[in-house]
Amino acid sequence: RVDGTRLWDSLMEMAAIGATPAGGCNRQALTDEDKQGRDLFLRWCRDIGCEVRIDRMGNIFARRAGTDGAMPPVITGSHLDTQPTGGKFDGVYGVLAGLEVLRTLEDKGIKTTAPLEVVVWTNEEGARFSPAMIGSGVWAGEFSLEYGHSRADKGGATIGGELERIGYLGDEPAEPKPITAAFEAHIEQGPILEKQDQLIGVVTGVQGIRWYDVTFRGTPCHAGPTPMADRRDPVQALAWLCERLYSEVKAYSDDARMTCGDLRAEPGSRNTVPEKVVLALDLRHPQPEGLEHLHRTLYRLAEQVEEATGASIDVREEWHSPPVVFDESCIEAVNSAVERLGYSHRKMVSGAGHDSVYVSRVAPVSMIFVPCAGGLSHNEAESAEPDHLEAGCNVLLHAMLSRAGV
């Protein structure tokens, strides 16, 4: 069994970096705060004698040697970056649960057959740099290194430049080596476990995600003298499209999701009809056909915008992460661990994207969820119970040991 108090204390120590007045964290990818978080993690890893490697995407791999030098590692991990108004557990829990597994084995003097590795993936959130999960995505071969390095934030700073600036542009190639199995512990970020009073989610896959930059274009003109009938107003077009898309998405299925996370008007002057409005749109569905349906609904409505409102529209797909089904044997490893430990549990599909999505392209993977209060995440009030976090970490320990061998 792991040390739940030590795990909690480490979570709180990490949460102090980028702590916000409202009790959350702002430790966005590759900022000074992210660097501090990484530095702290490295110190902890070296304290227990891990060997550390950093790759060209800034992904960190901390290895505890196994007894069989030839056996590929069992890996675990997640991310240390947060949303701009993020919580203390999203991602961080998966990294520090992995560290706690290594610390526990070190305490007990247990040697595994396969080496174990804890990984910190770069820019999982997709908040500062789009898309999400880009560190694991480049590593797994979904994106090129050039694409990864060139992604820019709203101020124009790039991943490549920021990795160099904070000293985390490593030497290792960002590409996978053979892996025995991979596990990731995470808070659920949704309400299901809490509502059903279950302790552990045995995660069988991840729903599909598509991201779009939707640009509405109009003609800037004066707010006063210009007759409404003469206008090409991008905000009218935005309202027209969103009103219809929200209602079609909600009517389609309870599983469908639509989020308009960001909006920007240009030039952004109150008495000028904007020249353009850019909407950052996120659509999700657990089934490929469902996601395709939402995608087609967006394009169908987009085709009607100009006739309905006069303003034009351009829909650019920014990212597509299709639904993923995890590896049967890894799901079974988690399930057996949960049953051995006697925790209440259910199988479930993740609503959030995770680094495990891309890791699953090159290795057998599954995930372990624990409840979070009110299902709330991407919110400074995100909260989880120490007991639940400890239970999830015990599951991780047993699942990893079952694949690594002792």
Ligand X SMILES: NC(=O)NCCC(=O)O
Is the CB of 33 or the CB of 124 nearer to ligand X?
Answer: 124
* Nearest residue to 281 via CA among 296, 295, 267: 295
Which backbone phi and psi does 215 adopt, to 5 degrees? Answer: -110, 120
Q: Which does residue 336 bind out of a second copy, ligand X, none, counting CB within 5 to 8 angstroms by kind?
A: none
Distance between CA atoms of 231 and 229, rounded to whole angstroms?
6
Closest separation between CB of residue 173 and a second copy, Å?
Answer: 29
Helix count and strand count (H, E) for the chain: 12, 13
Closest separation between CB of residue 118 and ligand X, Å?
Answer: 17
* Contacts with 170 (C-beta within 8 Å, 6 or more apart), sequence order: 53, 54, 55, 56, 58, 59, 60
CB neighbours (10 Å) of residue 356? 29
125 known member of a binding site = yes
330 close to 296: Cβ distance less than 8 angstroms: no
385 known member of a binding site = no
Residue 265 touching a second copy (CB under 8 A):
yes
Residue 126 touching ligand X (CB under 6 A):
yes
Residue 330 touching a second copy (CB under 8 A):
no
Residue 5 touching a second copy (CB under 8 A):
no
Residue 81 touching ligand X (CB under 6 A):
no
Q: Which of 118, 166, 169, 352 binds ligand X (CB under 6 A)?
A: 352
* Contacts with 62 (C-beta within 8 Å, 6 or more apart), sequence order: 41, 42, 45, 50, 51, 52, 99, 102, 117, 118, 119
Q: Give residues 238-297 in contact with ligand X (rule: CB under 6 A).
A: 271
Distance between CA atoms of 207 and 131, rounded to whole angstroms?
16
Q: Segment near a second copy (CB under 8 A), from 169-177, 275-283, 292-300, 339-347?
A: 275-283
378 known member of a binding site = yes
Residue 184 touching ligand X (CB under 6 A):
no
Question: CA triplet 265, 269, 275: central angle to 5 degrees?
Answer: 45
Q: Where are the beta strands (DSSP E) in 88-168?
A: 116-121
Residue 355 touching a second copy (CB under 8 A):
no
Distance between CA atoms of 315 and 363, rounded to whole angstroms?
34
Closest separation between CB of residue 122 and a second copy, Å?
Answer: 16
Q: Which does residue 360 bind out of a second copy, ligand X, none, counting CB within 5 to 8 angstroms by kind?
A: none
Distance between CA atoms of 14 and 107, rounded to whole angstroms?
22
295 known member of a binding site = no
Q: Give residues 6-65 in contact with ligand X (rule: CB under 6 A).
A: none
* x-marked contacts with a second copy along 283-302 as a string, rule CB under 8 A: -x------------------
320 known member of a binding site = no
Residues that bind ligand X (CB under 6 A): 90, 124-126, 132, 189, 222-224, 271, 352-354
Annotated binding-site ranges for Zn(2+): 79, 90, 125, 186, 378
